[in-house]
Amino acid sequence: MTAMLPRFVVCEDGTEYLERFTRFLGDDFTFIPARDFASARAAAASADGVLLDLDFRRTPRDRLVDENGPVPADLDDDRRWRLAETQGILILRQLRGAGVALPAILFADLDDAARRDFLKQTLAPLTIASSQLGIRDIGGLLRTVLVRR
Confidence of residue 147 (pLDDT cuts 50, 70, 90): confident
pLDDT of residue 148: 76
The separation between CA 138 and the C-alpha centre of its own chain, rounded to angstroms, equals 14
pLDDT tens by residue, 5-23: 999 999 999 999 999 999 9
pLDDT tens by residue, 39-87: 999 999 999 999 999 999 999 999 999 999 999 878 899 999 999 999 9
Cis check: omega of the bond before 60, within 30 degrees of 0? no
d(CA 77, CA 91): 19
- Reply yes or no on whether the pLDDT at 1 is more than 60: no
User: How many separate helices (H) and strands (E) can be counted in the chain?
Assistant: 6, 7
pLDDT tens by residue, 110-138: 999 999 999 999 999 999 999 899 999 99
R_g over Cα of the chain: 15
> CATH assignment of 10-148?
3.40.50.2300
Instruction: Using the Cα atoms of residue 136, residue 131, residue 106 and residue 43 in order, give the sign of their dihedral.
Output: negative
- Phi and psi at residue 20, to the nearest 5°: -65, -45
Residue 64's CB is within 10 A of a number of other CB atoms, namely 23
SS3 25: helix
- Cα Dmax for the chain: 53
